[in-house]
Amino acid sequence: MTASATRTNRITTTRPEARAEVSASGKRNPIAHLTPEDIEDIGRELDAIRDEVLASRGAADAAYIRRMIRTQRSLELASRVVLLFSKFPPAFVVGTTGLTVAKIIENTEIGHNILHGQWDWMRDEKIHSSTWEWDFASPAEQWKKSHNVEHHTYTNVVGMDNDLGYNILRVDPDQEWKLHHVFQPVTNFFTALFFEYGIAAYDLDVKGFKDGTKDKDVFMADLKKVLKKLRAQMGKDYVVHPLLSGPSALSTLLANAIANTARNVWTHSVIFCGHFPDGVETFETESIEGETRGEWYVRQMLGSANISGSRFMHVMTGNLSHQIEHHLFPDLPSNRYAQIAPRVRALMERYGLRYVTGPLPKQVGSAWAKVFRHSLPNKRPGHSQLGDVVAAARDAVTDVLDSTRGMWRRDRRSLAAAPA
Amino acid sequence: MTSPGDVVAPPQADRSSVKRALARVGRGARRVAEALATPLLPEDFIDLVDPLRSGADLRGRVVAVTPETPTATTILIRPGRGWRGHRPGQYTRIGVDVDGVRHWRAYSITSPVGAETISITVRAIPDGRVSNHVRHGLRPGAVLMLDQATGDFVLPDPAPDRVLFLTAGSGITPVMGMLRNDPLPRDVVVVHSAPTSGDMLFRRDLTALAAQGRISLVTRFTATDGILPVTALDGVVPDWRDRDVWVCGPTGLLDDAEAHWAAAGLSGRLHTERFRPRIHAVGDGGEVTFTGAGVTVAADAATTLLAAGEDAGVLMPSGCRMGICFNCVLPLTDGSVRDLRTGEVTTANPEDPVLVQTCVSAAAGPCHLRV
Ligand SMILES: Cc1cc2nc3c(=O)[nH]c(=O)nc-3n(C[C@H](O)[C@H](O)[C@H](O)COP(=O)(O)OP(=O)(O)OC[C@H]3O[C@@H](n4cnc5c(N)ncnc54)[C@H](O)[C@@H]3O)c2cc1C
Ligand code: FES
């Protein structure tokens, strides 16, 4: 990858010979103290934890996911029924709350995890990654490819992991600053509001299509599937259910809009907390070439952050509150992450690795602080950050003028020629 | 205006247009229900309340679990309303979750036709996952997955006058299914072997039928008397050549019977039911890739492609699991597989995929199957 070879930003590599003790912006290498043997030992220990869970997977786990699905569907059904009378404020509040929770669990603890293949071992064709479809703008098939393959393989590798868009956000001092990063707090806010559509666009690889790296026919076929799904989703939430509510149509429509938006903001926050809070590392492309199993595990641990909280919280996040455990073992049933978390944490602490975790508000705050902080260029001694931004803006304007000057002249000439 | 005479016999066209209109309303309602439930199906919500209704995926509710012998258990099942009934001698498939994992197995139906419930009788085999689970893991009230009855181990219509049933062990099950229906063929001989009298399935039913003179029963307890060789039939059923015969039991019995009846030039009169495939050949094993599922697993020479896929969590189509129903067929798009019954190796390449029965084939080197 030539683009990344010339990139000046950090970061950590797990390959000792390629490791810098300190990054360009002065960040310490978090695994400088580990030998290659340590890293492989970590890998072996984690493999053993995984094998233990696999060997004990059974009826209780199957009962868990079935119960979760039953509860979620009952809650959704009940909330929809209550919303038929949403003209009455108490019904509106109860129905909207229920629908929001149901929609969140459908996406997180159920959809996300089933599509990861966490429940494929049950061989129940109704609860299987190859047959599941979810209440989300991106069709399951497209999401699985971009999420499971790209995000989980290239976790926090700058330039490769598009999950939350390193293309848009600058969240690391070693990432090169560009003028558009000034707007990233605003961009990020809107990404949160329309999260599912943003993800659908990522999964479609709209950017790849514009850059010419995605085949046009494939793109068009995928786009058709997305539009079909969008039509069904929108039809359900904004047409059919409201119409069914008769006199409560408008309030039901509003309830659906609130539920969808709240879910967008919630899932955005959860995922945002998974890889962006303070203490989470990012990696450069070279660092993953020829990566060993141990190195892969270490990268997953250092590139993820957990959220602490109650059991209900964990369910609401789809156990992505155990992001570290999930990234280590993406296909283990989500109900087991809480169980292995103390061991993973102990292991990381034993090897002097930071187990990043905290309550949701703290983690969200920390991630947002990064978005604000890095929207401005790094502080340079003797320069003001504002000055740097202004200079960059001036350069950008000059660039635009330079590249359009020819056009202006031609235009003026043709204008002058016209009356003659 | 219509005259009274018209009312008695409404025109055909009217009735069918009413039907069509109703169908259209039905389809419209269905579309609305689908729009309400998307991306799920309306069924996913209705299943919450009524998993056995008609139109649902076929399921059955366990009504009773009754031990028959120390190792055999009869399960009484009330099938969902989509059940289409069976012919005596046919089998059904049940899908049960053992340790959270869904397994499908075929079992002969042992109950008479036309009842509200069906029964199957399962003999536990050592280390058998499903056959042991049904006795200790299934409780009345449990819901299991069910498939429509199938199989051609049945009496023809009209039934022949003189019939021989030659069975051993749990092979009596499909025959019991036939014997529990009326009327029986005029002249029925049942030759049944079991290890001991305590192990013998349906002992009471069979002796009762014999006491009523409806069948002639010959039992053989192999633990004390040794196995009855087919060649010794002459001594037991001297007129066996004049009878249509239905044989079900262990592989050895079936193989011997096939050879015996073929030698007598009477293969046309022989009907067999096998509970497991006859394995002749094992080969090399290899890496099996299930394209579409994106799964690759190493499988040894004795592991069927079906089992290899299932163990890796791939949703594999399946049926009898022993090479008769062709429900498990998948295209082999690359590499070689071996038919475990014959040892024959089938090779395919992406330009020329070949359909193979995954339940009786194993990898013979690396291979790709499309699911
Ligand atoms: C058409 C048809 C009808 C059948 N009807 C009946 C019936 O009425 N009653 C009944 O009890 N079974 C019947 N079977 C057999 C049944 O489907 C299962 O194969 C059997 O119960 C074993 O399943 P399991 O899960 O317990 O064993 P598995 O866990 O699948 O197998 C465990 C071990 O036992 C071996 N094994 C598998 N099947 C047999 C067998 N039949 N005998 C000895 N060893 C075996 C396997 O090779 C394996 O090593 C029928 C099979 C077919 C194809
Ligand atoms: S499952 Fe019946 S032939 Fe393979």
Residue B116: CATH number of its domain: 2.40.30.10
Query: Both B319 and B264 in a single domain?
Result: no
Query: Both B261 and B342 in a single domain?
Result: no
Task: Indicate the angle between helix axes A249-275 and A89-105, nearest 10 degrees.
Answer: 40
Mean pLDDT (chain B, rounded): 91
Query: Both B134 and B166 in a single domain?
Result: no
Does any domain span residue B358? yes
One-letter amino acid at A230 equals L
Does any domain span residue B216? yes
- In this predicted model, which residue has the larger pLDDT, A21 or B86? B86
pLDDT of A10 reads: 33
**A165/A167 Cα distance (integer angstroms):** 5
Query: Both B270 and B175 in a single domain?
Result: yes
Does any domain span residue B136? yes
Instruction: State the CATH number of the domain containing residue B338.
Output: 3.10.20.30
The partner residues of B355 in beta bridges, in order of sequence, read B331
Instruction: State the CATH number of the domain containing residue B214.
Output: 3.40.50.80
Q: Which residues of A touch B314 (CB under 8 A)?
A: 120
- Check pLDDT > 60 for residue B201: yes
Q: Which residues of A touch B39 (CB under 8 A)?
A: 133-135, 229, 232-233
C-alpha of residue B276 to centroid of ligand 1, in Å: 6
Give the number of other CB atoms < 10 A from CB of residue B243.
21
- Banded pLDDT at A149 (limits 50, 70, 90): confident
Query: Both B269 and B336 in a single domain?
Result: no
Boundary-marking domain end, from B93, B120, B146: B146
Does any domain span residue B1? no
Nearest-Cα residue of chain A relative to residue B144: A124
CB contact under 8 A, A123 and B101: yes
- In this predicted model, which residue has the larger pLDDT, A212 or A355? A355
B332-342 burial, b at 16+ Cβ within 10 Å, e below that, comes to: bbbbbbbbbbe
Question: In terms of residue numbers, what domain contains B359?
Answer: 286-370
Boundary-marking domain end, from B274, B304, B338: B274
**A323/A358 Cα distance (integer angstroms):** 12
Residue B135 tokens, joined: 């006795």
Query: Both B262 and B291 in a single domain?
Result: no
| Nearest ligand to the C-alpha atom of residue B174 | 1
Identify the three-state secondary structure at position A339. helix
| Nearest ligand to the C-alpha atom of residue B307 | 1
Q: Is the CB of B109 under 6 A from ligand 1?
A: no
Query: Both B258 and B309 in a single domain?
Result: no
- Check pLDDT > 50 for residue A420: no
Residue A109 tokens, joined: 């603890």
Q: What is each CA distance from B280 to A29, A164, A300, B360, in whole angstroms?
A: 60, 55, 48, 11
Percent of chain A whose predicted confidence (pLDDT) is above 90:
62
A123/B contact by beta carbon, under 8 A: yes
- Check pLDDT > 90 for residue A202: no
Q: Which residues of B touch A73 (CB under 8 A)?
A: 40, 44-45, 48
Does any domain span residue B38? no
- Check pLDDT > 90 for residue A342: yes
**Alpha-carbon distance B315 to nearest alpha carbon in chain A (angstroms):** 6
Identify the three-state secondary structure at position B116. coil
Identify the three-state secondary structure at position B349. strand
CB contact under 8 A, A74 and B48: yes
Query: Both B104 and B176 in a single domain?
Result: no
Question: Of A123, A128, A241, which is closest to B36 when you measure between CB atoms?
Answer: A241
Query: Both B120 and B174 in a single domain?
Result: no
What is the distance in angstroms between the CA of the first residue and the CA of the last residue of chain B?
61
Does any domain span residue B50? no
Query: Both B240 and B334 in a single domain?
Result: no
Q: What angle do CA A242, A224, A129 make, to 5 degrees?
A: 80
A5 membership: H or E segment, kind and range: helix A2-5
Does any domain span residue B43? no
pLDDT of A25 reads: 63
pLDDT mean over B15-40? 88
A256-309: pLDDT as tens digits: 999 999 999 999 999 989 988 888 887 766 666 778 889 889 989 998 999 999
pLDDT of A7 reads: 32
Q: Is the CB of B72 under 6 A from ligand 1?
A: no
**A331/A54 Cα distance (integer angstroms):** 10
Query: Both B182 and B270 in a single domain?
Result: yes
Query: Both B365 and B334 in a single domain?
Result: yes
Beta-strand relationship, B216-221 and B244-248: unpaired
ipTM at complex level: 0.83
Structural domain total, chain B: 3
| Nearest ligand to the C-alpha atom of residue B341 | 2
